[in-house]
Chains A and B, each alone.
Chain A
Amino acid sequence: DQQVKQNSPSLSVQEGRISILNCDYTNSMFDYFLWYKKYPAEGPTFLISISSIKDKNEDGRFTVFLNKSAKHLSLHIVPSQPGDSAVYFCAPHTGGFKTIFGAGTRLFVKA
């Protein structure tokens, strides 16, 4: 039972353009949504989050949008930079200490 789906295993974007990473979920009880970034041979690092009571959160080049009715969130990176090339995980939080991770989307930013 996959509660979190990142349907695009990979995404390739030209430097300077916008990267849009998508995430769909099924559990309406998720109260917080996080995005993590992971480079090879390193653990994931927390990137940005959004509360379920908001529909947008922005932090520099990174913006997360939440559409609760569609159970969909997206991460926008603009402008994309080669250093953004990594695997991005969508990670909703269910309360308590439980965070569920999606399978990840590998982003390639071409110079």
Chain B
Amino acid sequence: ETGVTQTPRHLVMGMTNKKSLKCEQHLGHNAMYWYKQSAKKPLELMFVYNFKEQTENNSVPSRFSPECPNSSHLFLHLHTLQPEDSALYLCASSQGILNYGYTFGSGTRLTVV
């Protein structure tokens, strides 16, 4: 499969649950990103990884925990979320800093109940 793949597409979880979002890219890109899109708000950058190293944490609460085991995979571990964390979570990748165009996945629609 080509492009950026995110699983699951939809997730409903309780506030005490622990779940993980997965992102995979087969484009040979070395940078990967998590973005959050809440209703009627711009996309918000959450985390950036470059060559598996985290280079950006945009003041994200600790209930969101990213993991990047290699340049092709990115996870977002979720625990004790709040209803206001319900949003579309988008993963993206790029070929480093010299190529500014990102390739996005289709996103995971998360609902916290």
Contact = CB atoms under 8 A, between A and B. Distances in A.
A43 B107 contact: yes
Interface in A1-24: 4
B109 to A, nearest CB: 9
Contacts of A101: 35, 42-44
Interface size class on chain A is 20 to 34
B42 A43 contact: no
B100 A43 contact: no
Contact of A96 (B55, B90, B105): B55
A43 B48 contact: no
A49 B100 contact: yes
A60 B91 CA distance: 28
A93 B100 contact: yes
Interface in B4-53: 4, 6, 31, 33, 35, 40-45, 48, 50
A89 interface: yes
Contacts of A49: 100-101
Contacts of A46: 101-103
Given A97-B31, A99-B45, A101-B43, A44 B56 contact: no
Contact of A34 (B45, B101, B107): B101
Nearest to A102: B42
A97 B48 contact: yes
B105 A43 contact: yes
B49 to A, nearest CB: 9
A70 interface: no
Contacts of B31: 97
Contacts of A78: none
A96 B97 contact: yes
A4 B45 CA distance: 14
A45 interface: yes
Interface string B87-102: 0001110100100111
B106 interface: yes
